[in-house]
Structure 1
Amino acid sequence: MHLGAPEASLMETRNFTAAREMAAGGSWLLPTMNGELRLAKPPLPTWAVAAVMRVTGTTDNLGVLRLPAALMATLLVFFFWQLAQELTTELPGDAEAPGRTAWLAALILASSLLLLTVGRDGQWDIFSNSFLVGALWVLVRGWRQRAPGYGWFALGGLFLGLSILSKGPVALYSLLLPFLGCLLSPLSRWRATVRTQWRGGLVAMGVALLVGAAWPLYVLYHVAPEALRVAQLEVAAWSDRHVKSLWYYGQLPVFTGVWVMVALAAVLVPYSQPRLQRYVPVAFTLGWLVTTLVLLSVVPEKKTRYMLPLLLPLVLLMGGLLRYWEVLFRTQVVPRADRLVLRSWASVLAVVCVLVPAAMTFFPLPGFDGHSVRFWVAVPAFGLLGALALFYGFRRPHPGRLSGISIMLLALVVTLLLPAYPVWEGRDKAGLRRLAQVRHHPGLPQLPWYSLQEVPIKQVWQAGRSIPQLQPEWRAVPHHPIVVFSLSPVAPQLPLFWQRQVHVQLVDSFYTGRTREAGRWLVSIVEPNATPTH
């Protein structure tokens, strides 16, 4: 819903710009971004967006271009649901209500804040993680077969290869390695089964290498020097870009959104472990969570979306806890600790229901302030949900009802407030001309575009076309008018032998940020003189 609401992020503009050049006739095996080779990321997500562009005929509708990422987020939930069923089957609690724990875990994952944000962002992580979770599901299914299930292992290898084609070996490190490590450890009840199915594992490995290595080998064969240079830069980025504290991923429970109190209760091991034994393989899942946390934390480069592999074992624990509460609160005697957790959960939901209308009042935006229809719909809706949360948390405790209120609260926020994104992002841009407007300036669309400095990729995306940089070795004077972008007047920056033979006319300008201080680019037309000067 509202996929087109937020502006394109930096990662999205890189992906969408490369996809646009593919769809316009560029190479699908050697992608380009602003006319230059783009080898920093594997091409599968870019192929998906380029295919959507070809099919729909649109290259700038963000809601359409984000559809592949949204589809992969949906597949991730489905794959995780199937994986959770494989992991929780044969447990005592699953026998009472087959598949219930897995279904609750999938519901939490689908409505978590992290997946809702990552799943609507057209970049690489959602592709690589979704395929990897699909691989884990079919591999576990294969390992649980009594007879050799080579078909499952071949499918698992295919998913592993597609994950590699989406973001290289990243998901292998952050998802596959900790999962397999715990699966082969004493923490797992499937340890012996995995070892007996070693031939299937070799099949999966062979298919994964065949699929995942195809594109890197093609690139190495055709542009080896550039590929090696990019690989060195990407490896260096792990230690010198986006460096965060070792404890950065400790904020994971917050990114479960409306389920934050359930998440905190699940990671409080003395509380959760005895309650989860019947519903979740506790030792294995906690080991999976802790191992993933360690592997991600030791890498200096950290980002919010890198927490997605951490979310999966946490959500499985949370699903087990919800299932435990469902059974517990049907009885007459409920321990005080469980009542306290449920009341805390209800209190958080009620506070959110108060804060959202308050924010709409104190931070008014056009169409979302106290005089808007949205506001007068939001106030009674949030008020009703807050009252229900308190009722089912304190007066008549009911975890199932609180789960439903959490889902409705999330749906209300997404439906009413997500359209505020564009308004919020454009709050300081009034009166500042943007490149998206300049591109329609009369006379400019028909001319070739160049720049004297490197144009930020977000601006290249807004331009709707490539803006290659004029190179110093270009000695030939243009025979036809060209558009030149620059941070300062063009004429003094042109080669001396150009200055006598061309005429420069400043025709427009634009700003790149929310304020004038963010930077202003000049747009000039450079055209040859009618009679060359000697």
Structure 2
Amino acid sequence: MYDKKNFHFLLLGIVCFFTFFIHNKVVYPDIMESRNLITAHEMVEYDNWLVPTMNGVLRLEKPPLPTWLAAGVELISPDNLSLQRAVAGIAATLLVFFLYAFASRLTNNRRYGLVAALVLCTSFNIILMGRTATWDIYCHSFMLGAIYFFYKAFEQEGRQWKNFGMAGILMGLSFLGKGPVSFYALLLPFLLSYFILYRPSFKKKGFPLLVMVLICLAISCWWPVYLLLYHRDMALFAADKESTAWLSHNVRPWYYYWKFFLESGIWSLFLITALIWPYWKKRVTLKKEYLLTVAWTFAVLILLSLLPEKKTRYLLPILIPAALVVAHLFVYWSHQIRRKGLLNPDKIIFRINAGVIALVGLVLPVAVYVLFYAEDKMGLGRFIFIACLFLLVFWLLVRSIVRIRPYLMLWGVVFLFFIVEIFLMPSVANLFNNVEWKSIHGVRKIEKLSGVPFYYPEGENLRIELVYEAGRRILPWDMQKDSLPAGLPFVLVSTRNAEETLPESVLDKVELELIDVYDDNHRPKGSRWYSDIFIKYVTLVKEKER
């Protein structure tokens, strides 16, 4: 594998392009994306850049940096989901390059850095977060950059003002991305592992380290301080709400994350294998560096498990040290092959791990036939072409297994992802999408509804995804008061038709015009995710002619 840095940058750039940017619009926005993009849209429409709102309600729980980026995109190209997701893709690409830089620096081995970066950008959760406009990817990307500069500052002699300064800036940006999340889930585990195992010298580092902390605090705290000065009650309420959520929402048992390795997707078995420290501690080429990455991985897992609130997407940061752990196996296998050949146990381990991935490559053409060609969702020529590509990759993987070629196996995995992302992403997305989807997004194109306020009955549940699709605020209306919202006409978004929803006292005063019935279920009927809550009547309520 070629070791020149610029060549590695080119390779990683190409892989990241196909991983995070190709066909990034084929999947519908989920609830997290909808919340974020609504907030960004309202920043632009209502000019509330420092005090974000979501559907007219203050949204102060999350720091605003990713929302500012999304709002910038909204200014340049309104309602452009592909471009919004591309910004998250840039953050994911930055994460991959920071890992390459850190891994190369840690081991003084660019090949190791390249392997770790390729493993990271082909890990399931990284792909998912890098292809959707959610905010998690930003804070961890900035924090990994901070860790890189922090490590660089401690490993070099002198005061290292530049490196400590960059670390402080990136830590501050991470906080503005999602508060203390990455400090707890990524930085703290690294610091514990690094200082215990490496015991770096603090000689001439004290004052620059203090400046780093001050820079971080200055960038992190100015927005919360602004809120405390000008919106104190709401800021304190939001802080209390967010801290309570960590203790009382989505509470899971401490062992909930025992399946953490599955978040790496195709690398799951490799990760389990690489974490068997008693076996590898005397074998791996870079023993101290390997121990650091294993300790870092388990430290992330333990600290996340201590929190009452648990969600699988919170495991995103564990994939960073996990990629470093897996990369050690490739370096070890390659080193041993060049020196004296692999021992039989190592050959068996490699062949089992690579064999599972090769089996995936063999099964994929069958899956394409059953899911697409047999269902008339793909033509014969296209099916044959894609099947041949998969079989070619299968041949590469088998060749790597027979000849014990770890890097050939790695590139086989990368090409496997290329095929899926280039040729199959739209088809795969349609497997899960509702082909009868009739979105409330259509109201944006109805000229007579332009500028008309939207309301929904206060007692009904309005999914935030509908607000995003409608492209405007849909405010609650308390119909118990028997009074109309200020001014007619307005649009009523309701679960039942307007005649059944509105009280008699209101019906006597207005004229109703049904615009349409919309079904925003992204999953097809019959799916367990299909819900009537996404079906809404949209009615124009006008003043009755006398």
Question: If the length of structure 2 is used for normalisation, what is the TM-score?
Answer: 0.88
**Residue 363 (str. 1) matches residue 360 (str. 2):** no
1:444 equivalent among 445, 449, 458: 449
Task: Give the match for residue 166 of structure 1.
Answer: 177
Deviation at 1:283, TM superposition (A): 2.8
Deviation at 1:41, TM superposition (A): 1.2
2:333 equivalent among 321, 325, 328: 325
Deviation at 1:387, TM superposition (A): 2.3
Rounded to whole Å, the distance in 1 between the matches of 2:282 and 2:103 is: 19
1:344 equivalent among 346, 352, 377: 352
Deviation at 1:270, TM superposition (A): 2.3
Q: In the alignment, residue 55 of structure 2 is paired with which amino acid? A: N
Measured at CA, do residues 243 and 141 of structure 1 come closer, stay the same or move farther in structure 2, by a change above 3 Å? same
**Residue 518 (str. 1) matches residue 523 (str. 2):** no
- Contact 1:262–1:345 at 8 Å: present in 2 too? yes
- Contact 1:4–1:62 at 8 Å: present in 2 too? yes
Deviation at 1:442, TM superposition (A): 5.9
Measured at CA, do residues 477 and 158 of structure 1 come closer, stay the same or move farther in structure 2, by a change above 3 Å? closer
Rounded to whole Å, the distance in 2 between the matches of 1:354 and 1:518 is: 40
Rounded to whole Å, the distance in 1 between the matches of 2:295 and 2:468 is: 43
**Residue 144 (str. 1) matches residue 155 (str. 2):** yes
Aligned partner of residue 122 in structure 1, secondary structure:
coil
Deviation at 1:368, TM superposition (A): 7.3
- Contact 1:276–1:317 at 8 Å: present in 2 too? no
What does the per-residue CA deviation read over 1:419-466, in whole Å, with 9 as the maximum and x for residues that have no partner?
A: 12441233x442x53212344346333522222245211011111222
Measured at CA, do residues 323 and 163 of structure 1 come closer, stay the same or move farther in structure 2, by a change above 3 Å? same
**Residue 20 (str. 1) matches residue 20 (str. 2):** no
- Contact 1:160–1:208 at 8 Å: present in 2 too? yes
Please give the residue correspondences for 1:255-404 in structure 2 after superposition, counting only pairs within 5 Å: 255-278=263-286, 281-364=289-372, 369=377, 371-394=379-402, 396-404=403-411
Task: Give the match for residue 42 of structure 1.
Answer: 63
- Contact 1:21–1:32 at 8 Å: present in 2 too? yes
Deviation at 1:284, TM superposition (A): 2.3
2:417 equivalent among 410, 414, 421: 410
2:93 equivalent among 68, 74, 92: 74
Deviation at 1:234, TM superposition (A): 1.8
**Residue 530 (str. 1) matches residue 535 (str. 2):** no
Rounded to whole Å, the distance in 1 between the matches of 2:86 and 2:484 is: 44
Deviation at 1:168, TM superposition (A): 0.5
Rounded to whole Å, the distance in 2 between the matches of 1:105 and 1:507 is: 54
- Contact 1:368–1:374 at 8 Å: present in 2 too? no
Task: Give the match for residue 467 of structure 1.
Answer: 474
Deviation at 1:178, TM superposition (A): 1.2
Task: Give the match for residue 58 of structure 1.
Answer: 78
Measured at CA, do residues 37 and 372 of structure 1 come closer, stay the same or move farther in structure 2, by a change above 3 Å? farther
Measured at CA, do residues 378 and 85 of structure 1 come closer, stay the same or move farther in structure 2, by a change above 3 Å? same
Deviation at 1:479, TM superposition (A): 4.0
Measured at CA, do residues 26 and 257 of structure 1 come closer, stay the same or move farther in structure 2, by a change above 3 Å? same
Task: Give the match for residue 457 of structure 1.
Answer: 464
Q: In the alignment, residue 20 of structure 1 is paired with which amino acid? A: H
- Contact 1:328–1:334 at 8 Å: present in 2 too? yes
Deviation at 1:486, TM superposition (A): 1.3
Aligned partner of residue 330 in structure 1, secondary structure:
helix
Q: In the alignment, residue 458 of structure 1 is paired with which amino acid? A: E
Aligned length: 515
Rounded to whole Å, the distance in 2 between the matches of 1:368 and 1:23 is: 44
* Identity between Structure 1 and Structure 2 (%): 31
Rounded to whole Å, the distance in 2 between the matches of 1:117 and 1:476 is: 44
Q: In the alignment, residue 90 of structure 2 is paired with which amino acid? A: L
- Contact 2:136–2:178 at 8 Å: present in 1 too? yes
- Contact 1:438–1:508 at 8 Å: present in 2 too? no
Aligned partner of residue 39 in structure 1, secondary structure:
coil
- Contact 1:109–1:315 at 8 Å: present in 2 too? yes
1:112 equivalent among 123, 143, 151: 123
Measured at CA, do residues 58 and 422 of structure 1 come closer, stay the same or move farther in structure 2, by a change above 3 Å? farther
**Residue 487 (str. 1) matches residue 495 (str. 2):** yes
Measured at CA, do residues 216 and 373 of structure 1 come closer, stay the same or move farther in structure 2, by a change above 3 Å? farther
Please give the residue correspondences for 1:177-192 in structure 2 after superposition, counting only pairs within 5 Å: 177-185=188-196, 187-188=197-198, 191-192=199-200
What does the per-residue CA deviation read over 1:78-108, in whole Å, with 9 as the maximum and x for residues that have no partner?
A: 112222233223xxxxxxxx43222221222
Rounded to whole Å, the distance in 2 between the matches of 1:62 and 1:435 is: 16
- Contact 1:81–1:106 at 8 Å: present in 2 too? yes
Question: If the length of structure 1 is used for normalisation, what is the TM-score?
Answer: 0.90
What does the per-residue CA deviation read over 1:21-72, in whole Å, with 9 as the maximum and x for residues that have no partner?
A: 12224311101111221112111111111111212x231x321111111111
**Worse-matched range after superposition: 489-498 or 274-283:** 489-498
2:104 equivalent among 55, 67, 85: 85
Rounded to whole Å, the distance in 1 between the matches of 2:333 and 2:94 is: 28
**Worse-matched range after superposition: 209-218 or 226-235:** 226-235
CA-based RMSD = 2.4
What does the per-residue CA deviation read over 1:108-129, in whole Å, with 9 as the maximum and x for residues that have no partner?
A: 2122222111111211110000
Q: In the alignment, residue 85 of structure 1 is paired with which amino acid? A: S
Unaligned runs of 5+ in 1: 90-97
What does the per-residue CA deviation read over 1:146-195, in whole Å, with 9 as the maximum and x for residues that have no partner?
A: 2111222122111111111010101111111111122222x22xx24246
Task: Give the match for residue 440 of structure 2.
Answer: 435
Measured at CA, do residues 372 and 6 of structure 1 come closer, stay the same or move farther in structure 2, by a change above 3 Å? farther
